[in-house]
Amino acid sequence: MFEGKEIGFASAGTRGSVALADAMVMPLRQTAIRSWVDWISEMDLVPDLGEDIGSIRWFRGLGTLTALSVFALALLPDFGPVYGAQPPIPTEAEFEEARAQMIMPIAYGSDSGKRMASTDAVVALAGSPERPRIELTATLGRGDSFSRVLQRAGVGGSEASDVTSMVSAVTSLSGIEPGTPIDIILGKRTSKNQARPIESVAFRARFDLNLAVNRVGNALQLSRKPIFVDTTPLRVRGTVGESLYRSARAAGAPASAIQDYLKVISGRTSLSSIRSGDEFDIIVDYKRAETGEVKVGGLLYAGVDRDGKSAIQMLKWTMGDNSQWFEASGVGESKGALSRPVNGAVTSGFGMRRHPILGYARMHSGLDFKASYGMPIYAVTDGTVAYVGRKGGYGNFVQINHGGGLASGYGHMSRFAVSSGTRVRRGQIIGYVGSTGLSTGPHLHYELYRGGRAVNPMSVKFTQRAQLAGSDLTRFKGRLANLKSVKAGAALAPLKPTGRVIEEPKREIDRLSQNSDGRPPRG
């Protein structure tokens, strides 16, 4: 008990000693702080530098400013780059492991996981196995050879030659259109040093014919698969509205056929002369295969009807190797500067000659054409009839002014087909051959005037006009009647079934794309 009291007294004494010491030291501390502040104030280290410039007090302030500036600059941070350690480049295995956890695998089919090494169960093959068959499609290019296409596809040279010979015996190889796909199936070969044998080759040789070459046993056999084709021409008729072109397009005529139609009609009459209410008549070559394909050909017939009558009827007709447009009368189309006035040879030229009737030399100011009595005489080009009647030794005479100072004259006619003041077009019949006036027999005397003076007609090249006659004219008129008997829109009627067995498609996509009747959809 007494020990505890002693301890308590000791603790209280210690606290008292510390308080006594602080009380004794505090005045000293306060005196030291006051002395330091007073000294700084007396030193006047930060005077106003705007006063007493050049004095000791001013230089003392300048020194303070300099010291503080140097201290501030010393504490200025460094704005240079901070260099760090470059991470190591990951190995291929590390990259694959990290890639499996990124979005990148989505672009690779969502593959993921680590790469696994092969085990002992994996045995390397001595050689790659041969595919039992190869199915491919080759395309015949423009100017390409059918045999070369087969060889590029992997067919051996001897078999390519055999297939080419079999196909050429059935159809012309040049008739196979560029872009035709050729389906080829090659079988298994016995050695890698040999070409694969042909199992089958199938393609469309013509619009109406499919060909297939198949291997039967050890030999190749050709099979023909005809395609029914409706060749009814496409006839489009309608009434001309504000525009002939737009009216024909609205009626369903192909754009290319309308362009050809306008060219043909403009060669016979001015397009501006075709009025609203006139009827256009267009017949186009048109073919439809029972497999659904359509092939639009060229223009066959061009006509214009006015007031219910056919004012213009032009039919495309082939003579020899040339095709040209003929009128319904069988007169061919004229091209060039001037057409021939008759279809006959020149028997007497331009210049001085001995007149066969008068018996003395005189100027022959034109050309004599050999022609039979009654043959039609045509206007050499468009113009206006200036004179029709009797004219001295010329007999029955017609003169036509063509404009630009050019005119033409026709003599010794038997009768006229025009009257004075009428407008004629090139190739129009203006009269008929005769032997009136000073003439020894039926022929045509033709003259050409420039500025009122006769010039040599041979200075202008004539275009030979074709005139159908005999059996050619009969066939021509039969063809014209056959085309005009086609009803408008008859080519668009549904095809009649032929009883043809449609082959089962080999591919699923082909089966899905067929119609319910087994035919491909028409696009």
Which pLDDT tens digit goes with each residue over 406-464? 899 999 999 999 999 998 888 889 999 998 988 888 999 999 998 888 888 877 765 55
Q: What is the pLDDT of residue 515?
A: 46
Q: What is the per-residue pLDDT across 247-257, written as a single tens digit (0 to 9) for each?
A: 999 999 999 99
At 147, which amino acid appears? S
Looking at per-residue pLDDT, the higher value among 98 and 377 belongs to 377
In the predicted structure, residue 43 carries a pLDDT above the cut 60: yes
Instruction: Write the single-letter amino acid at 118.
Output: S
- For residues 444 and 412, the answer to whether their CB atoms sit within 8 Å is yes
Average pLDDT value for the chain: 80
What whole-number distance in Å separates Cα of residue 434 and Cα of residue 369? 12
Beta bridge partners of 295: 287
Is pLDDT at 387 greater than 90 in this prediction? yes
Judged by DSSP in three states, 209 sits in strand
- What's residue 201's pLDDT? 93
Whether the Cβ atoms of residue 378 and residue 329 lie closer than 8 Å to each other: no
Nearest of 302, 283, 170 to residue 231 by alpha carbon = 283
260: tokens are 């050809």
Strand-pair partners of 181 = 139
What is the reported pLDDT for 286?
A: 92
Q: Which of 128, 129, 147, 287 is nearest to 208 (CA)?
A: 287
Under CATH, what is the fold of the domain 134-226? Answer: Nuclear Transport Factor 2; Chain: A, (3.10.450)
Neighbours of 200 (CB within 10 A): 16
> Averaged over 260-264, what is the pLDDT?
90
The correct answer on CATH 3.10.450.350 for the domain covering 230-327 is yes
One-letter amino acid for residue 11 of the chain: S
Whether 355 contacts 348, CB under 8 Å: no
Query: Where on the phi/psi map is residue 470: left (φ > 0), alpha (ψ -120 to 50), or beta?
Result: left
| Intrachain domains 134-226 and 230-327 with the same fold | yes
Q: Are 303 and 314 in contact (CB under 8 A)?
A: yes
The three state secondary structure string of 444-466 is EEEEEEECCEEECHHHCCEECCC
Task: Provide the pLDDT for residue 247.
Answer: 92
What is the percent of the chain where pLDDT is above 90? 26
Token representation of residue 152: 């590029």
Q: Give the long-range contacts of residues 157-162, CB within 8 A, separation 24 or more.
A: 157/195, 159/195, 159/197, 159/198, 159/220, 162/220
Most confidently modeled range among 329-333, 340-344, 465-469:
340-344
CATH of domain 338-465: 2.70.70.10
Range of lowest pLDDT (169-183, 334-348, 372-386): 334-348
pLDDT band at 333 (very low <50, low <70, confident <90, very high): low
d(CA 228, CA 499): 10
Domain boundaries, the chain: 134-226, 230-327, 338-465
Local structure of 389: helix, strand or coil: strand
Confidence band, pLDDT 50/70/90 cuts, at residue 507: very low
CA distances from 225 to 178, 203, 291, 497 (A): 20, 10, 12, 16
Q: pLDDT category, 292, cuts 50, 70, 90?
A: confident
- SS3 label, residue 479: helix
The torsion region of residue 427 among left (phi > 0), alpha (psi -120 to 50) and beta comes to left
pLDDT at 6: 44
Q: SS3 of 492, please?
A: helix
Alpha-carbon separation of residue 383 from 242, 356, 408 (angstroms): 28, 32, 9
468-483 in b/e form (b: 16+ CB < 10 A) is beeeeeeebeeebeeb
Tokens representing 8? 């308590």
- Which residues lie below 8 Å from residue 464, measured CB to CB, with a gap of 6+? 340, 343
